[in-house]
Structure 1
Amino acid sequence: MNLQIDYLRTFIALTETKGFTKAGIQVNRSQSAGSMQIKRLEDEIGKKLFARIGKTVKLTAEGHILIKYALRIVKEHDDAVRALSKPDLEGFIRFGSPEHYTIGLLPKLLARFSSSYPDVLVEMRCENSDKIKEAVDKGELDIGICTQISEGGQVIYHDPVVWVAEPEFVFQAHKPLSIAVFEEDCIFRTWALEALEKSGLKYRIVYVSRSISGLIDAVRAGFAVAPIIRSNVPSDLKIIGIGDGLPVLPVSNIVLHKTKKTASEIIDCFSEHIIKSFGEKL
């Protein structure tokens, strides 16, 4: 059995888009060429990977097995190619992000980039989204990722904002909801309060923090519920929502901004690294 990389790329794209037209655009192939690759991959394996439902597709049981390996195979292949063909980049890059995105993915992302490009120094700044975008626009930062609060930039990931609570939490509609929120200049706080007021729910702010660790500690203590992005929800806490009586919160679109004041191979390389890393979370 020979699992060709190009076929696996198309397989991954079709899994994500659920349609041959969009998958073809993603891998830069025509719809018919993409369809033929999937057929050849299925012939090679001897199993159907997708069930056709109208104009969309969904993974079969065998497809679910393969996708786990396909993602790893393609990632390792691309990492090997980059390691063997990478340019000898030297210099530094100024990068900024809100704290919401500096836990979880970013430490691994920065470690991987440092391993691939040891002679490039990444200077990191952690501030709110509006400050990060302003710094990029002024040329004080080379690259920034932030929550989409205005036009411009490239959307690289969608992360829903959710209510998180300790496992035994039960919402009591006759009592004000105790909430923990970020400080006033945080968009997640604004979204949470607007959603509660629109739904007519009574609430009280009992804990204010600039750090996400502070909010999570307040939730763990059973002191409050808090609005955070889903990718930051610890495994020991639970997500609550409509079924529990709370309003739905917006989706945080994560946007990448690059400075227009400076262009360099390092900036382009680091941008591609960020986009790829977030893409692997999908």
Structure 2
Amino acid sequence: MNLQTDYLRTFIALAETRGFTRAGRQVNRSQSAVSMQIKRLEDEIGKKLFERIGKTVKLTAEGNILIKHAMRIIKEHDDAVRALSKPDLEGFVRFGSPEHYTIGVLPKLLARFAAAYPDVVVEMRCENSDEIKADIERGELDVGICTQISDGGQVISHDPVVWVADPGFVMQRHQTVSIAVFEEGCIFRTWALEALEKSGISYRIVYVSRSISGLIDSVRAGLAVAPIIRSNAPADLKIVGLENGLPVLPVSNIVLHKTKKVASEIIECFSEHIIQSFGEKAQALP
């Protein structure tokens, strides 16, 4: 059995996007090429890896077994290539991200990139997604990750937005729910308010913060519930939803944008590190 890395990359992309067209965009291949590579991988293994559900696909039991190994194989392969390629890049890259993506994955990403490329300086800027996208289009940033709010960019990961609450939270019928939200301009705030209004749930904003730490502190204090991405939900808080009377929130599609004004090896290398790090994060989620 020979598991080719190209096929495994395509397999991972299809598992993440659940669609042949979206997977093709992620690995820069046509829909038919994605289908062909998955077929060859299945022939090599002798087992079906995906089940079709309408226009989407989901992993079979065998696919779920392979995905963990595939992620590890690709990571080890890429780490080996980087270790043997004698990093000689130098310069700087201007990078932007909303604050809710800077917790957890980005510190590790920046540390690993700095260790691999000590002569490259990463200038980081935290702004809302629409501002980051505009900065990239103006050439003020080289690379950015955003919550998908329009067309363009490369979807690199998905993270559901959830309500977090104090463990003792109980929502009474017809209760006005107290919520903590980001400042105006944050898409998570918009999604939360629209979902509550659509569900006919009365609410009041009791806490507004620029930072996710402020939201989490307000929830820990029992002041409110707050909408954050699932990967940022602390273990000491509970995720609440329909069973607690709160509406389901959208999934945050995390999109990578790169400047079209300047092409450089540094930008491409840093972008590859971002994609890899968010792939590892997705694998670690329950």
Structure 1 and Structure 2 fold alike (TM over 0.5): yes
Match of 1:268 in 2: 268
253-262 or 117-126: bigger deviation: 253-262
Q: Which letter does structure 2 place at the counterpart of 1:95?
A: F
Structure 1 residues 242 and 35 mapped into 2: Cα distance closer, same or farther (>3 Å)? same
- Secondary structure of the residue aligned to 1:235 is coil
Pairing of 1:1-282 with structure 2 (within 5 A): 5=5, 8-9=8-9, 12=12, 15-16=15-16, 29=33, 31=35, 34-42=38-46, 50=49, 58-60=59-61, 64-85=64-85, 87-282=87-282
| Partners of 1:22 and 1:137 in 2: CA distance | 23
Structure 1 residues 36 and 157 mapped into 2: Cα distance closer, same or farther (>3 Å)? closer
Structure 1 residues 209 and 94 mapped into 2: Cα distance closer, same or farther (>3 Å)? same
| Partners of 1:53 and 1:138 in 2: CA distance | 41
| Partners of 2:23 and 2:196 in 1: CA distance | 39
Match of 1:45 in 2: none
| Partners of 2:255 and 2:280 in 1: CA distance | 16
Preserved contact between residue 42 and residue 49 of structure 2 (Cα < 8 Å) = no
The TM-score normalised by the length of structure 2 is: 0.82
Preserved contact between residue 153 and residue 257 of structure 2 (Cα < 8 Å) = yes
Superposition deviation, residue 13 in structure 1: 5.2
Preserved contact between residue 10 and residue 27 of structure 1 (Cα < 8 Å) = no
Q: Which letter does structure 1 place at the counterpart of 2:103?
A: I
The TM-score normalised by the length of structure 1 is: 0.83
Preserved contact between residue 75 and residue 276 of structure 2 (Cα < 8 Å) = no
Structure 1 residues 267 and 169 mapped into 2: Cα distance closer, same or farther (>3 Å)? same
| Partners of 2:131 and 2:221 in 1: CA distance | 31
Q: Which letter does structure 2 place at the counterpart of 1:268?
A: E
180-189 or 256-265: bigger deviation: 256-265
Preserved contact between residue 10 and residue 34 of structure 2 (Cα < 8 Å) = no
Superposition deviation, residue 103 in structure 1: 0.5
Superposition deviation, residue 199 in structure 1: 1.5
Preserved contact between residue 136 and residue 258 of structure 1 (Cα < 8 Å) = yes
**Residues 252-282 of structure 1 deviation map (CA, whole Å, 9 limit, x = unaligned):** 2222222233222111221222123223333
- Secondary structure of the residue aligned to 1:156 is strand
| Partners of 2:152 and 2:67 in 1: CA distance | 33
**Residues 79-131 of structure 1 deviation map (CA, whole Å, 9 limit, x = unaligned):** 11122125511101111111011111111111121122111110111122232
Q: What percent of counterpart residues are identical? A: 73
**Residues 19-75 of structure 1 deviation map (CA, whole Å, 9 limit, x = unaligned):** 899878959656455434334335xxxxx5758678966433x65444333322221
| Partners of 1:185 and 1:12 in 2: CA distance | 33
Superposition deviation, residue 231 in structure 1: 1.6
Give unmatched runs, 5+ long, in structure 1. Answer: 43-47
Structure 1 residues 91 and 219 mapped into 2: Cα distance closer, same or farther (>3 Å)? same
Give unmatched runs, 5+ long, in structure 2. Answer: none
Q: Which letter does structure 2 place at the counterpart of 1:131?
A: E
Structure 1 residues 72 and 129 mapped into 2: Cα distance closer, same or farther (>3 Å)? same
Pair member with larger Rg: 1
33-42 or 69-78: bigger deviation: 33-42
| Partners of 1:171 and 1:23 in 2: CA distance | 40
Structure 1 residues 122 and 168 mapped into 2: Cα distance closer, same or farther (>3 Å)? same
Superposition deviation, residue 227 in structure 1: 0.7
